[in-house]
DNA sequence: GTCATAATGGGAACGATTCCGAATAAGACG
DNA sequence: CGTCTTATTCGGAATCGTTCCCATTATGAC
């Protein structure tokens, strides 16, 4: 999704709110909503505002540290991706618990570009998400 | 996206509002938002309410007549798909004008199912959308 | 320490979508 | 045609996620 990581590092101040949001995300391998992260942090006694949570999540996305998936119901969910976050990849997501597995599909990438080119489309990107029930949630 | 068309035809009354919404969608090969369709109809002198537009768009989706794409900004867009709407397919969409081309990718389908199975996921489905600038909008 | 200013946060504002409920009209029946 | 049942309509209120505003706070450079 992110065509390139941060185009140009912007100087940013280190705040504990920012760290808290990152920790909350890092704690689980699931896509979580801003509201969810906010609730968790507050429940944990963290002093942080909802606006701040949204702000940091967006920063992570801009910096290529996190991926975002827009659920059908309109809610956006975020996930801190692996160290190799610079590598283009997609996700296999559990509809029930949100657990996500990073996946790659070289064939899909080339197919997408080819189809777009054949139809005269330029400046192309794509979204590919696979949803299902993880083994754990199947019970 | 639609696992199956209407599971069971529900008797529905024929209203001119419903016909108007369908015509509005059929008039263009682009994904359009409910608000957009509503504005167009009103501008055309049609007597119809926003709620009604939403209702019919959802009915089309339920009946498998239309596909829906949830834009990143949270807006849902609808498009009346070809007669062969029963056939599973995806779209190549212009980010600028919304024009959409129906595309198929058998290889992607099998790949998606395989990846899901390998990771123990069941009850799988997926979203694949390619975005770009159509030739016309490239100018 | 001081200072400039990036970051914060809570409440208002927003925009898309859904809900509600009284008014309207499709269509079955006679 | 009339009548009757009830699906449908529609506009305004209500939701809900997200963004905006801006006075207050705190980071980090000097
Ligand atoms: Mn890809
Ligand atoms: Mn597919
Ligand atoms: Zn799960
Ligand atoms: Zn275009």
Tens-place pLDDT, residues B96-118: 888 999 999 999 999 999 999 99
pLDDT at B9: 56
- Contact (CB, 8 A) for A31 and A100: yes
Question: Which residue in the block uniquely carries the two structure tokens 């912007």?
Answer: A10
pLDDT at B59 over 70: yes
- Ligand 3 centroid vs B32 CA: distance in angstroms? 33
How far is the C-alpha of A57 from the C-alpha of A17, rounded, in Å?
A: 11
pLDDT at A6: 42
CB contact (8 A) between residue B122 and residue A133: yes
Give A31-45 pLDDT, tens digit per residue: 999 999 999 999 999
The pLDDT-based confidence of A5 (bands split at 50, 70, 90) is very low
- Contact (CB, 8 A) for A116 and A102: no
pLDDT at B96: 85
Give A62-117 pLDDT, tens digit per residue: 999 999 999 989 999 999 987 655 688 999 999 888 899 999 999 999 999 999 99
Q: Percentage of residues in chain B with pLDDT exceeding 90? A: 80
Residue B21 has, within 13 A of its CA and on its CB side, a CA count of 26
Question: Is the CB of A26 inside 8 Å of chain B's CB atoms?
Answer: no
**Which one of the ligands is nearest to A128 CA?**
1
Give B6-42 pLDDT, tens digit per residue: 444 568 999 999 999 999 999 999 999 999 999 999 9
- Contact (CB, 8 A) for A70 and B70: yes
- Closest CA to the C1' of D29: that residue is A13
pLDDT at B10: 65
Those nucleotides of strand D lying less than 7 Å from any protein Cβ are 7-12, 17-21, 26-28
B56: closest CA among B23, B84, B90, B97?
B23
**Which one of the ligands is nearest to B128 CA?**
2
Question: Which residue in the block uniquely carries the two structure tokens 């001119």?
Answer: B16
pLDDT at B82: 73
The strand ranges marked E within chain B are 32-33, 66-70, 76-80, 90-94, 100-103, 122-133
**Residue of chain B nearest A123, judged by CA positions:** B132
How far is the C-alpha of A130 from the C-alpha of A37, rounded, in Å?
A: 23
């Amino acid at each position: 999704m992110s065509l390139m990581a941060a185009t140009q590092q912007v100087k940013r101040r280190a705040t504990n709110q920012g760290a808290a949001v990152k920790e909350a995300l890092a704690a689980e391998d699931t896509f979580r909503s801003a509201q969810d992260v906010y609730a968790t942090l507050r429940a944990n006694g963290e002093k942080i505002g909802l606006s701040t949570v949204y702000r940091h999540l967006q920063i992570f996305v801009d910096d290529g540290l996190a991926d975002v998936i827009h659920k059908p119901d309109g809610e956006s969910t975020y996930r801190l991706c692996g160290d190799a976050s610079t590598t283009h990849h997609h996700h296999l997501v559990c509809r029930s618990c949100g657990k996500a597995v990073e996946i790659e599909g070289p064939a899909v990438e080339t197919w997408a570009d080819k189809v777009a080119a054949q139809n005269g489309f330029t400046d192309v990107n794509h979204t590919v998400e696979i949803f299902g029930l993880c083994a754990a949630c199947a019970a």
